[in-house]
A and B are shown apart, each in its own frame.
Chain A
Amino acid sequence: MSESNTILKLPDQRTATMPKRHYINNEDGLLSWLLTGDHKRIAMLYLMSITVFFFIGGAFAGLIRLELLTPQPDLVSSDTYNKLFTMHGIIMVFLFLVPSVPATIGNFLIPIMVGAKDLAFPKINLLSWYLYVIAGITILTALVLGGVDTGWTFTTPLSTHYLNTHVLTTAVGVFIAGFSSIFTGLNFIVTIHRMRAPGMTWFRMPLFCWAHYAASILMVLGTPVLAITLVLVALERVFGIGVFDPTKGGDPILFQHLFWFYSHPAVYIMILPGMGVISEVISTFSRKRVFGYTAVAFSSVAIALFGFFVWAHHMFIMGVSNYSALVFSLLTMLVAVPSAIKIFNWTFTLQKGSITFETPMLYAFGFMGLFTIGGLTGVFLGALGMDIQLTETYFIVAHFHFVMVGGMLMAFLAGVHFWWPKMTGRMYPESLSKLAAVTTFIGFNLTFLPQFIVGYLGMPRRYHSYPAEYQVLNVLSTAGATVLGVGYMLPVLYLAWSLKYGAIAGNNPWQATGLEWQIQSPPLTPNFIETPIVDYEAYDYEWLARKTEQEVTTVG
């Protein structure tokens, strides 16, 4: 375990113990968790709830893939199939992807990374979790009552006039989830601006914080538009006014403009925190500072800014004017640039670094390859001619799954594994986790690469039957989904196992830079014993080497 093919440095397990006091054993009792203001405990509450919803959403994915094994509509009726992909989308987007990294890893780490004792508004943080849980219960209620079949995009006039499924209940649930997200973002912005420790300048912050800052701006400014859109859909359904009804003089495309004004920035809300994780992981496992810190920092903010100006690329075939489509297409090309800058910078971070292949790094490599493919296919889709052919086909489905699952979900897993020792004080079992990472990668490619092909060949999305010539590719995809499911189950099992039986991690098992690695694992409730004073740059491995030379490491 101490050879040069890993940087992992655990304390001597014969004498190591967990710290006597930390945020988990600081207070006992269910209420101390349910009424906590401690950002770390709230992060753990989120982690548990998000995992539950992930598997519910995943179950729907399994059913979808099962139906698509055969070209005939033989498993479920078309209405039920519509409900399956709708619930899959709603749960995965609003109850998993949007809160995943920010609400778990972000909540846990941002105060520590900037040297603060907690987020700016701990009670609002707790409220955010309660809103999330209420939203989740509301959406599950809609599911149990019979589900909703509008697609996660609630497109009008289908959602306002032609369906009598539980659109209202779901809309209420998503509305509440939106506010959960807004409060998280608000907390992050205020904390990063106003609660940094002495010496922690903007350009000494870890890039994880920059990424969350950019995502938080999107959360605060974009989500309210989703909220008002859902209110309008609800009012339209209940009172039948006509704001989205062409027969009464309304415009269904107005709904889409307002909906996508949020939902496009939403994809950046989802991916930016993941990119923040990747910056940290790649730097640590190459033992090298991130190449072009300033470029990566500014590109995060640039993605947030440009991300507000491209939404109509989801609407090219819907009836927007040609001139508008042209402008949005051009802007879509531009928004790809900052993402590409990040990929280049991470690649150059790897160059001449001392690379090791622990599990977080495996997920990070997976991210870089798969996100690049996903992102490039996004550029294809931004070209008007291509989009007219490819939109509403499986090409789109493959594109967004590459960026969201191959990108974001891999980044989430990378982050959970990277900071697991910090959050719990325990190491996960490395060989099993590597197996899970590789399984996930293989399963993912098997699931979604065929979807690019079948989409390009013309198979439409959101249909539960398809022409027989697409069956082989669909079978491959379903097989991949099974492998993927196994790959995702494994972490739940071994991470839970590690809580009791994992090796004691110590303060800094990865020998990483960053304030979070200078404190005990798990951290104390106020994070720091005394306010840190920062006089070194981010990712300063020389500083870390000098510091550890003089240190005697004892745990507990």
Chain B
Amino acid sequence: MSEHHEYHDPANVTNPEHAEHHIVTPLQYSFVFLTLLVFTGVTVGAAYVELGVLNPIIALAIASFKAVVVILFFMHVKYQSRLIKITVGAGFFTFLALVTMTLLDYISRAWGLW
């Protein structure tokens, strides 16, 4: 029995969103490349400016932005199925759970180091 068009599979596992296979072009990659270079320059420059507690926040924000851009475009996640997107999210969510829940302990200790 053919699985292609005769049987409408309610559990279509391969391609539930019937997405077309999108090919990202080198031109799009070049924009991403330039963006990454620019923001590398920004993050180096920002390190020399006194911004108090904002310094690490800005540095992490820039790094996160670059990571998101790499994930969406170099790694094609923008054009992938919802499953892949959720998977990526789940990974970072678990990492954040590790960090936050452990910090919960360190921040509230009476030792005074934090």
Taking Cβ atoms with an 8 Å cutoff, the residues of A that contact B are: 193-196, 198-202, 204, 217, 221, 225, 253, 257, 261, 308-309, 311-312, 320-324, 327-328, 530-531, 533-534
Contact = CB atoms under 8 A, between A and B. Distances in A.
B30 interface: no
Interface string B1-19: 1010001011101100000
B9 A324 contact: no
B108 interface: yes
Interface string B73-107: 00000000001000000110010011001101111
Question: Which 9 residue pairs spanning A and B have beta carbons closest together?
Answer: A324-B105, A321-B108, A323-B108, A201-B11, A198-B9, A321-B109, A320-B105, A221-B94, A257-B102
A327 B101 CA distance: 9
Contacts of A221: 90-91, 94
B1 A199 contact: no
A533 B11 CA distance: 11
Contacts of B7: 198, 533
Nearest to A116: B13
B1 A324 contact: no
Given A221-B94, A309-B101, A530-B1, A196 B13 contact: yes
A198 B10 CA distance: 7
A302 to B, nearest CB: 15
Contacts of A324: 104-105, 108
B77 to A, nearest CB: 16
Contacts of B53: none
Given A198-B3, A308-B97, A531-B1, A321 B13 contact: no
B11 A199 contact: yes
A323 B104 contact: yes
A533 B107 CA distance: 55
B110 interface: yes
Contacts of B11: 196, 198-202, 204, 534
B82 to A, nearest CB: 11
Contacts of A312: 101, 105
B81 to A, nearest CB: 10
Contacts of A204: 11
Contacts of A327: 104
A365 B106 CA distance: 44
B76 to A, nearest CB: 17
A199 B10 CA distance: 6
Nearest to B102: A257
B70 to A, nearest CB: 21
A355 to B, nearest CB: 32
Nearest to B12: A198
Nearest to A322: B108
Given A221-B90, A221-B91, A323-B104, 11 more contacts: A196-B11, A199-B11, A200-B11, A257-B102, A261-B102, A308-B97, A312-B101, A321-B107, A321-B109, A321-B110, A328-B101
Contacts of B98: 225, 261
Nearest to B98: A261
Nearest to A325: B105
Contacts of A196: 11, 13
A311 B102 CA distance: 10
B107 to A, nearest CB: 8
Contacts of A308: 94, 97
Given A194-B14, A195-B13, A202-B11, A321 B105 contact: yes
A323 B108 CA distance: 7
15 contacts: A193-B13, A193-B83, A198-B7, A198-B9, A199-B11, A204-B11, A221-B90, A225-B98, A261-B102, A308-B94, A320-B109, A321-B108, A322-B108, A323-B108, A324-B108
A311 B101 CA distance: 9
Contacts of B1: 530-531, 533
A257 B83 contact: no
A530 B9 CA distance: 16
Contacts of B108: 321-324
Contacts of A217: 90
A311 B97 CA distance: 11
A196 B10 CA distance: 11
A320 B104 CA distance: 9
Contacts of B102: 257, 261
Nearest to A225: B98
Nearest to B9: A198
A194 B11 CA distance: 10
A537 to B, nearest CB: 13
A194, A195, A202 — most chain B CB neighbours (10 Å): A194
